[in-house]
Structure 1
Amino acid sequence: MPAAAGPPAGPPAGPPALTDAGLPALLAARGVPGLVDVHTHFMPANVLAKVWAFFDEVGARTGRPWPITYRTDEPQRLATLRSFGVTAFAPLAYPHRPGMARWLNEWLREFAARTPDAVPTATFYPEIDAPQYVEEALEAGLRCVKVHVQVGGFDPRDPLLDDVWGLLAQAGVPVVTHCGDGPNRGEYTGLGIFEEVLARHPDLVAVLAHAGLPDYTAALDLVHRYPRVHLDTTMVGTAFTQAFAPLPADWPARLVDVADRVVLGTDFPNIPHPYAEQVAAVVGWADADPRLGDAFLRAVLHDTGARLLGG
């Protein structure tokens, strides 16, 4: 008697989802020597606690919960990053009021001194002594800067900052700049405003955080028109941001002409999803267009970040 027919076969199962534990194997399989992350956050404990409290409140205000996936102490967070295969990272902090940046820069300098895989970083705010403390940071070996226009609530075109932008442009130090309108528009956000800074300082190595989310097209336009502007991948293409700021359907094809100016960023530890989801998004772009492939994947995950951070 013939065996009973089973249920009809469905479509073949896709590859298993990438997990944090699977990151080292992925890197080895694709020829990536390690992850270089230009957009992570390490801060004094009291400042980080306030940042986490802010995200805890976001869900109640917006209906879009933002759980902190890696809410652990500093030693554990460092061990977690290294377990993913991260070999170098930029620990970023940012002020929201005058007088705060200098203190943060002192903390960041000490953190980098005791953390070999963390590059020296700094931040600034529009205040009279900003050129002085940025120049001090440059003399101490500064390799990356964070500017958060939205949280800081300041105009990046402020005359108090003109000398600062000039110093950083001359030094060729990358400035990870959150200047887009996402996730919420601020008084001085918008890529049109930041373009006025670029027009005055066209040699600035600006890294547009979150690829300019939600205005990805305008961000790519700046990359095309200013040869030292880059995009970071922070939260771009993950399920969380696709829900409110989806990428253009032809995003991989749009990256072909700027493949060497896209760099890994994640927002670790303040992300509402596993770290591997960000890497998986980049893998998806690389595999979606044969003009990208493994060369693009290695550039985004390692080579471009290593070039920007130097050292």
Structure 2
Amino acid sequence: MPAYLRFLGLPGLADIHVHFLPDSMQRKVWGYFDEAEKHYGAPWPVTYRDDEAQRLETLRTLGLKAIPALAYPHKPGMAQWLNDWCADFARRVPDAVHCATFYPEPGVGDYVATALDDGARLFKMHVQVGDFTPDDERLEPAWARLEAARVPVVVHAGSAPLQGTHTGPAGVREVLRRHPDLVLVVAHLGMPEYHEFADLADEFAGVHLDTTMNGTDFTNRFAPFPDGYVERLAGLRDRVVLGSDFPSIPYAYAHQLEALARLGLGDDWMRAVLWHNGARLLGLSES
């Protein structure tokens, strides 16, 4: 991978979709994937089941110049605890991206404002895990603050690998109707509703799509790209951002880059996706 980045003339990778969690929570996540056949009907072997220090070193070796710590709650009262943990992670890891999250509950606007004031520059929302709709009225104060701050929010709202009560593009579209200047990053390119989420990127200047797990051999078994979609990715070059889902991916990190390269969209497209677009969203120096 370092040789490939040198070939492209890039200083590194700008991956917007990386997870670090409190140890107890991380163990539970890995336990969930250990039972993937029960949930998904197929195994999901975790490739990077290492301690925190080793995972950080792996990402630096792979070429990441900034390391997000995306976290998300699955119940009320959890988001503030995760935000405190993420703030501590950012303080003790020099190349970390200070991340935060939120949930539809009383006080959400206040703790999102506090996280922004503390320096959070990337947020995460998971619609299926949280079992809520993005256009829940309780989230309005949070969306308003995030829109004003122009801080990106990675939103997992697609219906794969598991459909939820509120997954799909409708709730995200309503949020954008109310807050058209939001900077949203649709996780996993919105799989499997690929075209529907690409429509949002066409309509709203702040909508981006992250590549997490897309085009890989693993994902192509259950959510391959529909006809005409690769051509749309070419047209959305400046709005497609590298995402990986490290560490809980069932293949080597390099396979994500291989999957993108074999789409055949060219070196300039790869340069934009692997570095320039993510660096812009994360505020990284182009040098």
TM tier relative to shorter chain? over 0.9
The root-mean-square deviation of aligned C-alpha atoms, in Å, is 1.1
Q: Cα distance, 1:37 vs. partner?
A: 0.8
Residue in 1 that maps onto 2:90: 112
Question: Match for 1:158 among 131, 136, 143?
Answer: 136
Cα deviation digits, residues 226-257 of structure 1 (max 9, x gap): 11100000000011110000013543321222
Q: How many residues align?
A: 284
Structure 1: distance between partners of 2:129 and 2:32: 11
Q: State whether structure 2 residue 243 is matched by structure 1 residue 270.
A: no
Matched, 1:309 2:282: yes
CA displacement, residues 257-304 of structure 1 (integer Å, 9 cap, x when unaligned): 21000000000001011100111122223xx24xxx222111111111
Q: Is 1:300 aligned with 2:273?
A: yes
What are the Cα deviations for residues 55-108 of structure 1, in whole angstroms up to 9, with x where unaligned? Answer: 111123433100110000000000111111111132100000111000000000
For residues 62 and 190 of structure 1, the distance between their equivalents in structure 2, rounded to whole angstroms, comes to: 18
For 2:110, the equivalent position in structure 1 comes to 132
The within-5 A match list for 1:58-69 is 58-69=36-47
Partner in structure 2 of residue 51 of structure 1: 29
- Name the residue aligned to 2:124: 146
- Aligned residues of 2:127 and 2:166 also touching (Cα < 8 A): yes
Report the residue type matching 1:301 in the other structure: L
The answer for unaligned runs of 5 or more in structure 2 is none
Specify the alignment match of 1:220 in structure 2.
198
Structure 2 distance, partners of 1:300, 1:116, is: 24
Q: Are 1:233 and 2:211 counterparts?
A: yes
Mapped partners of 1:105, 1:267: distance in 2: 19
Partner residue, 1:101: 79
Whole-Å separation in 2 of the counterparts to 1:27 and 1:252: 23
User: Which segments of structure 1 move beyond 4 Å, counting only runs of 4 or more?
Assistant: none
Question: Would the alpha carbon gap of residues 228 and 61 (structure 1) be closer, same or farther in structure 2, given more than 3 Å must change?
Answer: closer
Structure-2 residue corresponding to 1:19: none
Structure 1 alignment gaps of length 5 or more: 1-22
Whole-Å separation in 1 of the counterparts to 2:96 and 2:208: 20
1:87 is paired with a residue of what secondary structure? Answer: coil
CA–CA distance in 1 between the matches of 2:254 and 2:227? 22
Residue aligning to 1:13:
none
Q: Which residue of structure 2 aligns with residue 14 of structure 1?
A: none
SS of aligned partner of 1:146: strand
CA distance in 2, matches of 1:122, 1:30: 32
Instruction: Confirm whether residue 39 of structure 1 aligns to residue 17 of structure 2.
Output: yes
Which is further off, 84-93 or 265-274? 84-93
- Give the drift of 1:150: 0.6
Q: Does 1:198 align with 2:176?
A: yes
Q: TM-score scaled by structure 2?
A: 0.96
Q: Deviations over 1:197-228 (max 9, x none)?
A: 11111111010000000011111111001111
- After superposition, the C-alpha distances for 1:101-156 in whole angstroms (9 at most, x for unaligned) are 00000000010111122111000011111111100011011110000011001121
The amino acid of 1:145's aligned partner reads F
